[in-house]
Structure 1
Amino acid sequence: MRIKLSTQGIVLGFMLTLLVLLGFYHHNIQRLSTAITLYDADKIAHNFLSMYQHFTAKRIEASAKPFYFAVHYQSLPETFEYEGETLSLETFLSDTQTHGLMVIKAGEIVSEQYFLENKADKQHISFSLAKSFVSALVGIAINEGHIQSIEQQVTDYVPELIGTGYDGARIKDVLQMSSGVKFNEDYGDFFSDINRFSRAIAFGTSLDSFSASLTREHEPGTYHHYVSIDTQVLGMILTRATGRSLSDYLHEKIWQPMGMQDPAYWLADDQGVELALGGLNVTLRDYAKFGWLYLHQGRWLNARGESMQIVPQQWVLNSVTPDAPHLQAGENNPASSSVDGYGYQWWIPLGAEDEFMAKGIYGQYIYIDPDQDLVIVKNSANPHYTDKTQQWGAKTIALFRAISRHFAEP
């Protein structure tokens, strides 16, 4: 017996099927839409302040005993110099679509500015600032005996990476972005590995599976090539070694003892695995606390005047010391893809005396100048970030150094 379907019936059936599919995949479609338009000029500012609302995220509660910096607001320099040109600070902050700028000098907030949609209690996406938090957790895990040594193989803790690009790499190699893994980190290339990774997150793809898909390009420990997935692998090592999620471990070891005053959010895949390489969402003041911790070599003085070593001192010192030729700063280092130096997920800018920094795409910075007792935090949503002719990074460092000189003791 044949059943004849009317055109209306076919259309109705198609529409019902479509509605079911849209309902089932609605969250993924929303995430994919956000991922694809993440850096669009008319959306970027809002997106960077609401990432944890669009993607799966794990909440890290604020400290039960929050710490607050003293406040002594002062003026910033109106201009700074870059390659013989005088630039306006106000114009530069506008051109880079700055969301927040904070300067801490001698334990006091001397400047705190919010722009566009940002406010003191709003969490801003970290991007690669998160890498430096992960590095701190690795140092703590080693101190607690969860990880024996950074000379161990990655596969000692993550055996599922045997036979992948990470087979044969040491933990130290991934800490120093020298794993040898092949990876295209160009955010301006829609088909780059990093943008493929973003779309994988939108679809809920396992982050661990994506990490296992990469192949080898260089001998581990010989060439500095910035590969964000290296930090994802560090996250895999941490969770296997500690038996804890990154969010739980961060909450106990850093957020609570440091008195972080606001909750944070860590983006995660559909299996609950955190985006170790760049998924933290943190307020400006709490980013600044982390910078202040590293300025004091991992030691923290809480609101009651109690001093505690949160991150081992030697780990902090090692983290900001390039210890091999391929990690040294320089314009023409043949074994590095960067002009800046690199440690354990921390950058040492070209021409640094003692400065070091955490850095994330589109203008995220925690800049630390120990001999000036100074920390600068900048959150941004620069829609022109991929325009390499503008030298945004070099100009930003010039600005930070001008601010540091401005607050230097006479």
Structure 2
Amino acid sequence: MNSSRQPWQRDPENPGAPIIPRGEWDFPPYHRWTFQHVREMAPTAQIWRGPGSVLPLPERKRNIDGIVFETRAGRRTMAQYLEESATDGFMVLSRGEVVAERYMNGLKPYRQHLAMSVSKSVTSAVFGILVHRGLIDPQALVTKYLPELEGTGYRGATVQHVLDMTSGVYFDETYTTPGSHMQKLGQASGWFDVIDPAWPMTVWQLVLQLTEQERPHGKAFQYRSIETDVLAFIMQRATGKHLADLISEELWAPMGAEDDAYITLDRGGFGLADGGFNATLRDFARFALLLLRGGKAHGRQIVPAAWIEAIRDADHEIFGNKRQGALPRGAYRNQFWIEDPDSRVFMCFGIFGQYIYMDPESDFAMIKLSTDVDPVNDDRTADMLAAAHRLRDFCKTGI
């Protein structure tokens, strides 16, 4: 496409869409449109919801717009917060009922939205099912399943190290550093046209090039998106199935999703486990409800309860001061974020404001889909937590 045009000039060949530079579609300002139209930007695979019944979402809706709480920028009403943080979709669940549901920026109940790194937690849920079946051993070496990685920085790392992002593999996660691993992942994932023909053309090729180990395995947390893709390669190797089919068969259909989901594909047909998952707001709510219910839906155990319990078996000392501004007591376990190891709250995060906040003790969840300005902003994350705490209290007390 011709990137010299203004970003919101309409394409004369496709009047419903803006003209978007191919290499910038996942960043502002274009993401306000593209996060709801990823299938028009990149190759994707369908994740079928299956023929079964839909998991009900009973409603007990209340007006939350005037609820006031403290953000990092001062006091805001909930309506102001949702607008200022570029919300696209927002839902609150309490005791299994929908308390609030908002669609903004043109999002519709039937339209899928890019989850970014919430995809990691979806992948983890399926991974836990395979562990429960004995197909994968988290304590085994990564090279048991992927012997090709013997010559990489993953040599000696266990599967659990990768689940917790405590492997010592060197991976530069920065988005703007020229030639960073993250930029190479953008090309390898199939999201963009070829930036540099010398860079990897598939995610697997990129993994094979991660030959450096910068620290001992298991000693410190370091967020690296490629870890989730390594997990997906293990899942595919252990089952002989593609990731999209695994998510459909093991999670999306048994859970009772209402709509199909989809996932982006690299040039080799690999589903991008680290950030390519797309689903509707209501189906993200069903995913949250499934986890709040200990992995059960329709009276069946879908995700093992032990896997969900293990999420909260996290080590703040290994986590260190990462995300200190928003999560001073934070931790990370099995591809989920922990607000505080002493609480039962666990969360899914994705850049540009994708959040799922779950508190099993209060039977409460908050789902937020966004297209915020900054990929990562600790103030925004702190505001999300403050909003969740205030809404959780509101659902308990009514005030």
Distance in 2 (alpha carbons) for counterparts of 1:331 and 1:266 = 28
| SS of aligned partner of 2:361 | helix
Q: Say if 1:363 and 1:189 are closer, same or farther in 2 by CA, change over 3 A.
A: farther
Residue 237 of structure 1 corresponds to 234
**Whole-angstrom distance in 1 between the partners of 2:272 and 2:116:** 10
Aligned to 1:14: none
C-alpha deviation, 1:189, in angstroms? 4.2
- Paired AA for residue 321 in structure 1: D
* Matched-pair contact (CA < 8 Å) for 1:52–1:281: no
Question: Which residue number in structure 2 is paired with residue 179 of structure 1?
Answer: 167
Alpha-carbon displacement from aligned partner over 1:98-146 (angstroms, at most 9, x marks no partner): 0000011111111100001201011000111011111111111111121
Which of 108, 132, 139 is the equivalent residue of 1:143? 132
Offset of 1:82 from its aligned partner? 3.5
Amino acid aligned to 1:327: F
Asked if 1:86 corresponds to 2:75, the answer is yes
8 Å contact kept, 1:329–1:341: no
Cα distance per residue 1:266-325 (max 9 Å; x no partner)? 11112111101111010001111111111122122x2xxxx1111111111002320473
Deviation of 1:353 (Å)? 2.5
| Contact 1:328–1:342, Cα closer than 8 Å, also in 2 | no
Q: Which residue of 1 aligns with 2:301?
A: 309
Q: CA deviation at 1:338?
A: 8.1
CA contact (8 A) 2:69 2:76 kept: yes
Asked if the contact 2:313–2:341 (Cα under 8 Å) also holds between the matched residues in 1, the reply is no
CA distance in 1, matches of 2:41, 2:333: 33
**Structure-2 change in CA distance of 1:331 and 1:160 (3 Å):** closer
Give 3-state SS (helix, strand or coil) of 1:70's partner.
Answer: coil
Q: Pick from 372, 379, 402: which aligns with 2:362?
A: 372
How far apart are the structure 1 equivalents of 2:47 and 2:323?
A: 40
Cα distance change of structure 1 residues 351 and 407 upon mapping to structure 2, 3 Å threshold: farther
Give 5+ residue unaligned stretches, structure 1: 1-30
Q: Please list, as runs of the form range in 1=range in 2, the aligned pairs for 1:39-54 lying within 5 A after superposition.
A: 39-41=27-29, 43-54=30-41
Q: Is the 8 A contact 2:59 2:98 kept in 1?
A: yes
**Contact 1:319 / 1:344 at 8 angstroms: preserved in 2?**
yes
2:100 is aligned with 1:111: yes
Q: 1:328 to 1:295 in 2, by over 3 A?
A: farther
Does residue 209 (structure 1) correspond to residue 209 (structure 2)? The answer is no
**Corresponding residue number in structure 2 for 1:61:** 48
Distance in 1 separating the partners of 2:77 and 2:69 = 7
State whether residues 60 and 265 of structure 1, in contact with CA within 8 Å, keep that contact through their aligned partners in structure 2: yes
Go from structure 1 to structure 2 and tell me whether the alpha carbon gap of 1:175 and 1:392 turns closer, same or farther (over 3 Å shift): same
What per-residue deviation string (whole Å, max 9, x for no partner) do you get for residues 212-245 of structure 1? Answer: 2122111110010000000000001000001111
Q: Report sequence identity in percent.
A: 31
Say which of 261, 281, 285 aligns to 1:284: 281
Q: What CA RMSD, in Å, does the superposition of the two structures yield over aligned residues?
A: 2.5
Structure 1 residues 94-109: aligned runs within 5 Å: 94-109=83-98
Equivalent position of 1:222 in the other structure: 219
Q: Partners in 2 of 1:363 and 1:188 — Cα distance? A: 19
TM-score by length of 2: 0.86
Describe the shift of the 1:230–1:331 C-alpha distance in structure 2 as closer, same or farther (beyond 3 A): closer
Q: Distance in 1 between matches of 2:92 and 2:392?
A: 9
Deviation at residue 330 of structure 1 after TM alignment:
7.9
SS in 1 for 2:161: helix
Instruction: Tell me the residue number matched to 1:384.
Output: 374
Q: Are residues 385 and 232 of structure 1, via their aligned partners in 2, closer, same or farther at CA, if it must alter by over 3 Å?
A: closer
Write out aligned runs for 1:330-349 (5 A).
Answer: 340-349=330-339
Residue 195 of structure 1 aligns with an amino acid whose one-letter code is Q
Structure in which a larger fraction of residues adopt helix: 1
Structure 2 CA distance for aligned equivalents of residues 114 and 84 of structure 1: 24
Q: How many residues align?
A: 369
Residues 182 and 395 (structure 1), Cα distance of their counterparts in 2 relative to 1, 3 Å cut = same
CA distance in 2 between partners of 1:374 and 1:224 (Å): 28
Match of 1:257 in 2: 254
Aligned to 2:14: none
Aligned mates of 1:84, 1:207 — CA distance in 2: 39
Give the aligned partner of residue 5 of structure 1.
none
Residue equivalent to 2:314: 322
The residue correspondences of 1:287-302 to structure 2 (distance < 5 A) are 287-300=284-297, 302=298
Counterpart of 2:314, as a letter, is: P
Partner in structure 2 of residue 26 of structure 1:
none
Aligned in 2, Cα 1:350/1:174: closer, same or farther, shift over 3 Å?
same
Residues 32-76 of structure 1 show CA distances to partners (whole Å, capped at 9, x for unaligned) of: 9433242122x1110111112211100012232222311121121
In structure 2, C-alpha distance between the alignment counterparts of 1:188 and 1:330, rounded to whole Å: 19
Matched, 1:155 2:143: yes
Q: Distance in 1 between matches of 2:178 and 2:322?
A: 29
Q: Which of the two has higher C-alpha Rg?
A: 1
Specify whether residues 195 and 338 from structure 1 end up closer, same or farther in structure 2 by C-alpha distance, changes over 3 A only. Answer: farther
Q: Distance in 2 between matches of 1:256 and 1:394?
A: 34
Distance 2:209 2:130 in 1: 27
In structure 2, runs of 5+ residues without a counterpart are 1-18, 195-200
The one-letter amino acid paired with 1:310 is I
Amino acid at match of 2:121: S
SS in 2 for 1:116: coil
The secondary structure found in structure 2 opposite 1:162 is helix
TM-score for the superposition, normalised by structure 1: 0.84
Contact 1:66 1:261 in 2 (8 A): yes
Match of 1:194 in 2: 182
